[in-house]
A and B are shown apart, each in its own frame.
Chain A
Amino acid sequence: MSDEPHVMSTTQRLVYMAEQIARNFAALGEDRTVTALAEHLTSYWDPHMKDQIVAIARDHPDSLSPPVAAAVARLAQGRTPAGPNPAQFNAVDEVGHCDAG
């Protein structure tokens, strides 16, 4: 790590976070690391973050270590890109909906 001030981009941070989690699971051995990491990302990451890490894995596969890449691959199975969910938003009653306007 250099001594320069570091400001991470969101992408860098997500990669950093995933790698950091993986390093903390590393003592479990690679298989269990992949499982644990995938579970962790599923449980604690917001959908957009998940989408982002999946996109990173797709676009920049070299930026992820093998266990992280494997875990993200597992995460990617069965995920559809998330976005605004108007139906859910509109589930709030009319007054709220009007207010938002």
Chain B
Amino acid sequence: MTFSRETDHGTPPAIATGKSVTLTIDGQSATMPEGTSIMRAASLTGCSIPKLCATDNMESFGSCRLCLVEVEGRAGYPASCTTPVADGMVVRTQTDRLKQLRRGVMELYISDHPLDCLTCAANGDCELQDQAGAVGLRDVRYGYDGATNMGQAKDQSNPYFDFDPSKCIVCSRCVRACEEVQGTFALTIENKGFESKVSPSQGEDFLGSECVSCGACVQACPTASLIEKKVVEIGTPDRAVITTCAYCGVGCTFRAEMRGEELVRMVPWKEGKANRGHSCVKGRFAWGYAQHQDRILNPMIRASVSEPWREVSWEEAIAHTASEFRRIQAKYGTRSIGGITSSRCTNEETFLVQKLVRQGFGNNNVDTCARVCHSPTGYGLSKTFGTSAGTQDFDSVMKADVILVIGANPTDGHPVFASRMKKRLRQGAKLIVIDPRRTDLVQSPHVMAEHHLPLRPGTNVAMLTALAHVIVTEKLYDEAFIRERCDWDEFQDWADFVSEPARSPEAIEPLAGVKAEEVRAAARLYATGGNGAIYYGLGVTEHSQGSSTVMAIANLAMATGNVGREGVGVNPLRGQNNVQGACDMGSFPHEFSGYRHVSDDATRGLFEQAWGVTLDGEPGLRIPNMLDAATDGRFKGIFIQGEDILQSDPNTHHVAAGLAAMECVVVQDLFLNETANYAHIFLPGSTFLEKDGTFTNAERRIQMVRKVMAPLNGYADWEIVQLVANAMGLGWSYDHPAQIMDEIAALTPTFAGVHYDRLEAEGSLQWPANEAAPDGTPTMHIGGFVRGKGKFVVTDYVPTDEKTGPRFPLLLTTGRILSHYNVGAQTRRTSNTAWHPEDRLEIHPSDAENRGLKDGDWVTLRSRAGETTLRALITERVAPGVVYTTFHHPETQANVITTDFSDWATNCPEYKVTAVQVSASNGPSEWQQDYASQARNSRRVVPLAAAE
């Protein structure tokens, strides 16, 4: 693909009314939907009307006055961006008079703009420059001795972009982008008239302002006033490749804009159906890790973890890997090794890793990082609805009337989707937030939750059942829907169960700590407020009753008829870019791709036939059970692709003990991660920029990942897995990931229609995509549930065994922050650390006061599992008795604290509830010190040249 700017029709499409009008533009007849602007109509007809303040991802504004047109029978020269088309209208967009007016306006613009085009970073990629040319401006008769806004200091505080007010034309596109697209309202125009100036917050610099660095303003800027530092450094791009972001489960599509082999910038792609042209600070800017000096580019091996690493050739590394696995299996048995697939890798890579385990290792010991995040989603939604996935596409939120957010913090975790949700909220949808913390959604500029239920961590099921109690006892349920779509007897069992007085909001008030009246009001709103859509995150799943909570959510949606159309549904906000895909691809030890149990003979037969081996019909081990088996001496080798279980999994001591007990730990990753401290073989991985493949986002959307540069490590990850497989004698012969997808399609009914040629042509597909749904499935369960009748499951509240007591009186819950992603392996290696250089412990002022803590003090955080130290952040975001931290920095070792209690059905760890004590401290804990020294020791590398 060569470089061309995306077509900009100037104004968004009209809100569909079904009516259309016919008009004449420059002699051409055009039929347009009612409400379309003249500007858009002209653009679609092929007439280009000059414009500066208009861009088609924002409402028209009408300030630049370049787009004036003539309309027959109307006085004056209406702005084409703000004037809708009308039947029979005759529009002229190019007349001498218009040229004269446009030149007059442009002359004014240029009278207050520096004439340094030749040395300007945006030279050649500047709308002002283009439009000055388009209107034929040749002279500025005002001279340059008048007042100007030039010569103002540049703001270079943001690590990724500069703001040069001298080049600003005050079109307000940045301000509007911040409001309309991002919903942060961090920008304004300061002063008025000639002194109007773009101002971050209160006239401060961008970094110190409310700006969240989503990049929407930079993208919107038509001049070099807001420009990426990389463009200044490298120059304007000369080609662009469409690809998919490798951060969270939103799955934003980007244009990777390149200059030669260098990536200049990532710009959100307007055609991207998940992000609709928007981005966040991670996807937009935080890709520098791909070139970070910490990346390991050569394979390495060592006999024991106390030795330094020895760089070796790929051949040696692969051969050693294969031989170690075979040696271990020969000695300890087939089931003594396993693998972990990565939610950050592509579907194709994930599929290959599980295939390696099932076909090559001959067992089902494959698991994935979804174990620690959304495994309860898979279990719960599969049991109730019949499909282990969310029911909607993201667009659906724009039709929701009541949005219920449970245990999710989308403005930090899924910011691009949060922006759309906030847009819908600004349009008037109502919001209910169930979360122990006062997240940004509860109250932030222009967003205010109708009800916030700040429940005590660990009481989700009790709370959801109380909501159900209100809906059932007040007869707010949708009987027609239930009778038609669900099993009525099961509903009645469930209704009887939830109706018991012990499950009323009043009964659980002492337990959950939320006023019963507020719970009742929230239940009524959800049940009766129109389209009710539930969005949830890890605050639902990462509990001892994660699966029950998911089923309780599904029960609520079914009871109120909020499934099976746009604007409703049950929507897990997936944590990682491809966690949906990794699960779809058969990464769980009990099921093949497409969620089919390994014990099912027909399915197994299909795979056995395709792969030419006999497959194990017994489920394999889950990650924690692998670690137990390792500690017991029965599990000796593991292949871990792109996951840092030591940092991300709970009870670090337990993980470390398990890993230490193994004979061959193979880590495939970009960096020497924490798990690699216990590894014997390190296979350098490739980034999403260096390979082809697909990711599946939280809305089941399969999107292309495209190689924009050659892998620095020499191989894409799928190639490395293939090398290992072939070294183990599996005889794979994939030349391109497209062939892997063909195999997936052939073996997986829900993916039957997914092929690269279709993805290329259509941009994306939402599974199921097969004969029954040739165009994919944006909304699931229309007309009926996948499993047949929707199943109401009785979800009894079973308190966690992790309990507070005199020694551990506080409850710790964990989460993430906007600028960082999971364990931070990527984002810590970018300038995103400017926003969040360390993990902090949020503690309520009263709890801090009781302990004599001041903001910023070092504190020891201690649980039954271990202790760590970090600095305190005193805030009323958390309730008294609750503390909160993120887990982005390995120094913090937050998972030293978390216990190995887990979800009863899936063993998803109970990250969100740990009983802790907090006390003043003066430095790092013993474990942190030991660990730091061991990590240093473990990371010694003898380079290839020296090793030879």
Question: Chain A: residues with CB nearer than 8 A to chain B?
Answer: 1, 3-8, 10, 13, 17, 20-21, 23-24, 26-28, 40, 42-49, 82-89, 91-101
Contacts and interface: CB of A to CB of B under 8 A. Distances in A.
Given A99-B326, A100-B330, A88 B362 contact: yes
Interface of B: 319, 322-323, 325-327, 329-330, 332-336, 359-360, 362, 364-365, 497, 544-545, 548, 589-590, 597, 599, 613-614, 616, 618-622, 625, 628-629, 631-632, 634, 653-654, 727-731, 794-796, 798, 801, 803, 805-808, 864-866, 899-900, 904-907
Contacts of B362: 85, 88-89, 91-92
A75 to B, nearest CB: 12
6 A-B pairs with least C-beta separation: A100-B326, A96-B729, A84-B333, A95-B729, A27-B796, A3-B807
Given A88-B334, A96-B730, A100-B326, A6 B614 contact: no
A100 B325 contact: yes
Contacts of A42: 599
Contacts of A94: 729
24 contacts: A1-B803, A6-B865, A20-B544, A20-B904, A24-B545, A24-B548, A24-B798, A26-B798, A27-B795, A42-B599, A46-B620, A46-B625, A84-B333, A84-B336, A85-B334, A85-B362, A92-B359, A92-B730, A93-B729, A94-B729, A99-B319, A99-B323, A100-B322, A101-B330
Contact of A96 (B590, B728, B803): B728
A43 B729 contact: no
Contact of A24 (B323, B620, B904, B907): B904
Given A48-B629, A49-B625, A89-B334, A99 B729 contact: yes
Contacts of A40: 905
Given A3-B806, A27-B796, 16 more contacts: A1-B803, A6-B865, A23-B904, A26-B796, A44-B619, A47-B618, A48-B629, A84-B329, A84-B332, A85-B362, A92-B728, A92-B730, A93-B729, A93-B730, A97-B729, A99-B728
A94 B752 CA distance: 33
B796 A24 contact: yes
A85 B614 CA distance: 11
A96 B544 CA distance: 41
Given A47-B618, A88-B616, A99-B729, A27 B801 contact: no
Contacts of A46: 335, 364-365, 589, 618-622, 625
Given A10-B629, A45-B619, A46-B619, A92 B796 contact: no
A18 B634 CA distance: 21
Contacts of B616: 85, 88
A24 B597 CA distance: 22
Contact of A88 (B614, B729, B730): B614
A4 B362 CA distance: 40
A97 B334 CA distance: 12
A4 B335 contact: no
Interface SS, A side: helix
Contacts of B618: 46-47, 82
A41 B895 CA distance: 28
Contacts of A49: 621, 625
Contacts of B545: 24
Q: What's the dominant secondary structure at chain B's contact region?
A: loop
Contacts of A82: 335, 618
B734 to A, nearest CB: 18
A87 B362 CA distance: 10
Contacts of A20: 544, 798, 904
A28 to B, nearest CB: 6
A30 to B, nearest CB: 14
Nearest to B799: A23
Contacts of A26: 796, 798
A49 B590 CA distance: 14
B328 to A, nearest CB: 9
Given A20-B904, A43-B599, A88-B616, A101 B628 contact: no
Contact of B628 (A1, A13, A100): A13
Contacts of A8: 900
A61 B197 CA distance: 78
A1 B801 contact: yes
A92 B329 CA distance: 13
A99 B329 CA distance: 11
Given A10-B629, A88-B616, A100-B325, A28 B794 contact: yes
Contact of B329 (A6, A7, A95, A100): A100
A28 B613 CA distance: 41
Contacts of B329: 84, 89, 100
A48 B336 CA distance: 11
Contacts of A4: 864
A84 B335 contact: yes
Nearest to A86: B334
Contacts of A84: 329, 332-336
A8 B650 CA distance: 14
Contacts of B866: 5
A93 B731 contact: yes
B775 to A, nearest CB: 33
A87 B730 CA distance: 16
B497 A5 contact: no
Contacts of B805: 3
A71 B614 CA distance: 30
A13 B904 CA distance: 12
A97 B232 CA distance: 56
A24 B614 CA distance: 36
Given A3-B805, A92-B360, A48 B335 contact: yes
B468 to A, nearest CB: 13
A56 B493 CA distance: 35
Contacts of B806: 3
A4 B653 CA distance: 15
Contacts of B589: 46
Contacts of B614: 87-88, 91
Nearest to B907: A17
A41 to B, nearest CB: 10
A4 B319 CA distance: 46
Nearest to A13: B628
A43 B599 CA distance: 8
Nearest to A16: B801
B552 to A, nearest CB: 12
A40 B903 CA distance: 13
B798 A23 contact: yes
A54 B548 CA distance: 26
Contacts of A27: 497, 794-796
A22 to B, nearest CB: 9
Nearest to A85: B334
The winner among A13, A20, A83 for most chain B CB atoms within 10 A is A20
B542 to A, nearest CB: 15
A89 B589 CA distance: 18
A4 to B, nearest CB: 7
Contacts of B905: 21, 24, 40, 44
A97 to B, nearest CB: 7
Given A45-B619, A47-B618, A84-B335, A5 B865 contact: yes
A11 to B, nearest CB: 9
Contact of A92 (B319, B625, B653, B729): B729
B234 to A, nearest CB: 46
Nearest to B866: A5
B731 A44 contact: no
A31 B544 CA distance: 23
A97 B905 CA distance: 37
A3 B904 contact: no
B864 A3 contact: yes
Contacts of A100: 322-323, 325-327, 329-330, 728
A89 B333 CA distance: 9
Contacts of A85: 334, 362, 616
Nearest to A82: B618
Contacts of B319: 99
Contact of A44 (B333, B590, B729): B590
